[in-house]
Structure 1
Amino acid sequence: MYFELKDATADILARSRRHDELCDLPLQLIASESEAYDIQAAAQDALGFERKGYAIAGSTERSQRTLGLTSPIYSEIPASSLLNNTREFRLPPGAIGVQCEFAFTLLRPYPDAGERIDLGSARDAILACRPAIGLLGRRTRRTFWGNNPAIADFGLHVATLCGNHVPAASLAELVSIEVTTFLFRETVVSGKASSIMEDPVNAVVWIARQLAAKGRQLEPTDVVTTGSCTTILQVLAGQHVAADFGPLGQLDCVFT
């Protein structure tokens, strides 16, 4: 894709996200992962919001199948799309569904110079954890399968709805948590935290390695969301979704 077309594609994606509109971009023509992330970055710049961290999608094989991915992908989170204790959210066109996930807040730059990126160092770099409901969606009328269209389209991220912080001291216990999702108070799906890369903290390890490969790092107060530990649940306007994260508490939202 020519440079001029990358810029035009990014501008259209940004406009579609800002105005909750769908577009007809041929994102299947994106030739490489590098090109897809370049378009995503340009679209974030065109969107113009401060960025608050990183959202991961496809962190389990089950969610990859649902989203048509072959591996995890990520996107930056615009400040306007990171919401705390939001009890009502309007579904935009192109919404795919919701995922129950964990949202980590970073304490310090990670990794430090020469620091090994692994589970132990990631736990040390995390300030706190929150339960979260992530809303996924597309900005295109057509559904394009594969990583590159999804990466360019803001990594399919729409919004992250976060609950209250839980101290980092409990991070080692996260792997044993089972999350249950309710639709109108009826149990719909459940999943184990360990389904996310064997330990949800490994999502921080994964994104830190992705950034390090590009000469970047996570910064203090960055938020990293892990991707779904349950089946991605389709939601419709008027539905009430609640998620029980055990010791992390509950989170719920009415989608309008």
Structure 2
Amino acid sequence: MDATAVREAADLLLRAYAAGKPVAPLIETYPDATVEDAYRIQLDQVRVWTDDGDEVKGHKVGLASAAMQRQMGVDQPDYGHLTGSMFHLEHQPIPSGNFLQPRIEPEIAFVLGRKLSGPGVTVADAVRAVDFVVPALEIVDSRIEDWRISIVDTIADNASSGGVVLGSRPTALSTVDLRLAGCTLHANGDLVATGAGGAVLGSPLNALVWLANTVGPLGIDLEPGHVVLPGSMTRAISLRPGDTVVSTVAGLGSVTAVFGSKEEA
């Protein structure tokens, strides 16, 4: 795709939220688009958001588990940017009008204490860089009609990023085995999914390493204080106004997201 086509595709996605209406899959409009083109489209939107005063506060790895890859019909992870406006407080109503087709998934969030600069980052480097971990709920959303996404579509759509709720109990990485940390996901009091950290590329730490080594050659560092979401431990579930979702992770505690009405701020 040339620069004009990249700009057009980014504008389509930017207008989707403004209009409150998803768009047709980009891969249908731009059938020759590549993964590299999709990341250019993503970065074009990030530049618009930061120019408008938002700030990059971290990154997410998407489609890191086999369950999520099967659910979305793709075969590789991707990454997106987390901006300050995407973060919401526990137990406080999240306005549903900010989203188009929201789903929610449980994750283990890394909060970095040191910079990670790839390529060449190892698991040992990643362990040293992590300040603490917290349970998290990620709201994924798609600006593509009916979630009919290819890998190009989800990458261009900022890896289907929507919102983040972080738990408030920090835990040192040395006190928990993330691979074996079991997870339960409850919606409105009902158990809807279970999983474990090992579902995320064998360990959420592997996803952190993958991210650092993938974005490093692009000139992107993972900065101290940034949040990294490594991927979901279960399938994603749909969200409706009024839903309350709780993720509990063994050794880390729980995190609660309240999905409010369209009017609630």
Q: TM-score, normalised by structure 1?
A: 0.90
**Amino-acid identity (%):** 25
Deviations 1:136-167 (A, max 9, x none): 11113354331101100111010111112424
Give unmatched runs, 5+ long, in structure 2: 261-265
Alignment equivalent of 2:81, drawn from 76, 80, 105? 76
Match 1:35 to one of 13, 34, 37 = 37
The counterpart of 2:108, out of the listed 98, 102, 108, is: 102
Equivalent residue, structure 2, for 1:88: 93
1:213 is paired with a residue whose SS is helix
- Report what 2:263 is aligned to: none
List gaps (5 residues or longer) in structure 1: none
> SS at the partner of 2:145?
coil
TM-superposed deviation, 1:209: 0.8
4+ runs deviating over 4 angstroms = none
Which residue is equivalent to 1:238? 242
Contact 1:109 1:218 survives alignment (8 Å): yes
Q: How far apart in 1 are the matches of 2:19 and 2:106? A: 23
Deviation at residue 93 of structure 1 after TM alignment: 4.5
Residues 240 and 259 of structure 2 are in contact (CA less than 8 Å); yes or no, is this contact kept in structure 1?
Answer: yes
| CA distance in structure 1 between the partners assigned to 2:122 and 2:19 by the alignment | 38
Instruction: Report the RMSD for the aligned CA atoms in angstroms.
Output: 2.0
In the other structure, the counterpart of 2:133 is 129
Whole-Å separation in 2 of the counterparts to 1:117 and 1:175: 19
Give yes or no for contact 1:106–1:125 (8 Å, CA) kept in 2. Answer: yes
Are 1:182 and 2:186 counterparts? yes
> What residue in structure 2 maps to residue 6 of structure 1?
6
Q: Is the 8 A contact 1:86 1:161 kept in 2?
A: no
Work out whether 1:161 is the aligned partner of 2:160. Answer: no
Give the 3 Å change call, closer, same or farther, for CA 189–142 of structure 1 in structure 2.
closer
> Is residue 171–residue 252 contact of structure 2 (8 Å, CA) maintained in 1?
no
Deviation at 1:94, TM superposition (A): 2.9
Matches of residues 48-63 of structure 1 in structure 2 within 5 Å? 48=50, 49-63=54-68
Q: Assess if the C-alpha contact under 8 Å between 2:22 and 2:142 holds in 1.
A: no
- Would the alpha carbon gap of residues 171 and 117 (structure 1) be closer, same or farther in structure 2, given more than 3 Å must change? farther
| Contact preservation (8 Å) 1:95, 1:135 | no
